[in-house]
Amino acid sequence: MYSDDFGKATGRVLFKNINVSWRMYAGSDWQVHKRNGDPSSHTCGRETTVYLELALSGMQFQYDVFPIGGIYASKLCLSVQDFRLYDGSKTAPWKRILGYYNSKDHPRESTSKAFKLDLEAVRPDPLIPLEEYRLRIAFLPVLLHLHQSQLDFLFSFFGPKSLSASQSSDQDQNSDGAKTSATNSSNLAGHTIANEALLPFFQASRIGAMHAIYQVT
């Protein structure tokens, strides 16, 4: 719920009670390329007995848009009731890698969210269509228990898969960097605004109630 300062929203997108599960397998479903860009004759394939799984439960997403001419332009709220990352491999040293840290001294409230994010877009001057942002992020205590083999798996999964792919990415970046903009300003609703002013600017950001317990073995 919002305070009266926001006013009545003119548009809303709302998703509630969403559960998401992402299973990351070892190996590769794609053909590996050689240094010269030619496809390799050997493809590793997916290893279904080695995987990590990320589970998010009780997710809620809400995005509201407010009338033009007011201080508040929009607000995005994202929350997750619970999350966990566990190792489902047959040879896993332990199952649970990441999740809520249970403490007898500080019991968890039943309605508390494991993760919550609020992003407000505001107009410093309601007459000028420029927006600035206010960000708030909150975590419940988190436990991270990571084995070296699990760390190696994450580096392998998210690391570059081929040299040719990184080379093509660098070439694209160089070609984009060579392009220069012919104009240094834009016209929005009759106002001439420098392009630098259109870049995201955060008035305030806050991260609260975060406590991490981690161990790498």
pLDDT attached to residue 165: 45
d(CA 11, CA 72): 13
Within 8 A by CB and 6+ apart from 25, the residues are 46, 47, 48, 50, 51
Give the C-alpha distances (Å, rounded to integers) separating 48 from 13, 44, 61, 87: 37, 12, 32, 12
In this predicted structure, what is the pLDDT of residue 6? Answer: 72
pLDDT for position 3: 53
pLDDT at position 35: 58
C-alpha–C-alpha distance, residues 113 and 2, integer Å: 18
Averaged pLDDT in 10-residue chunks for the chain of 217 residues: 70 95 86 57 72 95 92 94 93 90 80 92 82 90 88 87 50 51 57 60 68 58
Beta strands in 66-139 (DSSP E): 72-80, 82-87, 96-100, 115-122, 132-139
pTM greater than 0.85? no
* Residue 146 host element (H or E): strand 142-146
